[in-house]
Chains A and B, each alone.
Chain A
């Protein structure tokens, strides 16, 4: 069964540094997403991406965040100047259609980001 893959599985970074989280979505999917889950809390939507542009973003996705699909297979999340509160598990997801049309999203196994 095709999978969403994420790298690295664990990233440790000093506060204030930039970090890039990488994802390879399922190959025929058209919609791509990033979520985060702070330890012990619920999964939170960050951003959706379709047709090479952001389609929706949450209030969490501020100017320090950016997303890119540089080469048609990878999908990246960049955090420009990390803060302690950015420590979380970050999940990438992809889907064939919009969630509003009842198309589910399939999640990668996450990158645990630890900010020191």
Chain B
């Protein structure tokens, strides 16, 4: 099983749609979870941390299920500017972050 596994994508959705991304991780000792976004040939940028109780930041909602080792990201009311690759990131140890391969999202007018 891969350390961090994501939906393969790509997702092509119209503006205003709701889209959900899933991610599973293999290390049950992982404690910290993040969603980053990466635009083409750019650096990863932090979108949000993921907390045990779930958390929301505007149109973005993240959920964590430790028992299933599963993380999700929901984007509501998609904008053109949401088009990017979304990276699920999980810690291995104190410092080591492991990235999923990413799910590409294209939001179309």
Q: List the interface of chain A (C-beta within 8 A of B).
A: 31, 33, 41-45, 48, 50, 55-56, 58, 89, 91, 98-110
Query: C-beta contact mask, B33-56 vs A, less than 8 Å → 1, else 0?
Result: 010001001111110010100000
Contact call B95/A33, Cβ cutoff below 8 A: yes
Contact call B95/A91, Cβ cutoff below 8 A: no
Q: List the interface of chain B (C-beta within 8 A of A).
A: 31-32, 34, 38, 41-46, 49, 51, 87, 91, 93-102
Known: A42-B99, A43-B87, A43-B99. A100 touches B46 (CB 8 A): no
The one of B32, B43, B91, B100 that contacts A42, using a Cβ cutoff of 8 Å = B100
Contact call B99/A48, Cβ cutoff below 8 A: no
Chain B nearest CB: distance from A45 CB in Å? 5
Chain A nearest CB: distance from B11 CB in Å? 18
The one of A89, A99, A102 that contacts B96, using a Cβ cutoff of 8 Å = A99
Contact call B44/A55, Cβ cutoff below 8 A: no
Known: A42-B99, A42-B100. A100 touches B44 (CB 8 A): no
Give the residues in chain B near A55, CB-CB below 8 Å: 94-95
Give the residues in chain B near A31, CB-CB below 8 Å: 95
Known: A100-B32, A102-B49, A104-B49. A50 touches B95 (CB 8 A): yes
Considering the complex, give the chain A residue whose CB is closest to the CB of B51. Answer: A102
The one of B31, B38, B42 that contacts A102, using a Cβ cutoff of 8 Å = B31
The one of B41, B44, B46, B49 that contacts A43, using a Cβ cutoff of 8 Å = B44
Contact call B32/A99, Cβ cutoff below 8 A: yes
Complex CA gap A91/B95 in Å reads 15
Contact call A48/B45, Cβ cutoff below 8 A: no
Give the residues in chain B near A56, CB-CB below 8 Å: 93-96
Contact call B43/A107, Cβ cutoff below 8 A: yes
Contact call B43/A108, Cβ cutoff below 8 A: yes
Chain B nearest CB: distance from A112 CB in Å? 8
Give the residues in chain A near B95, CB-CB below 8 Å: 31, 33, 48, 50, 55-56, 98-100
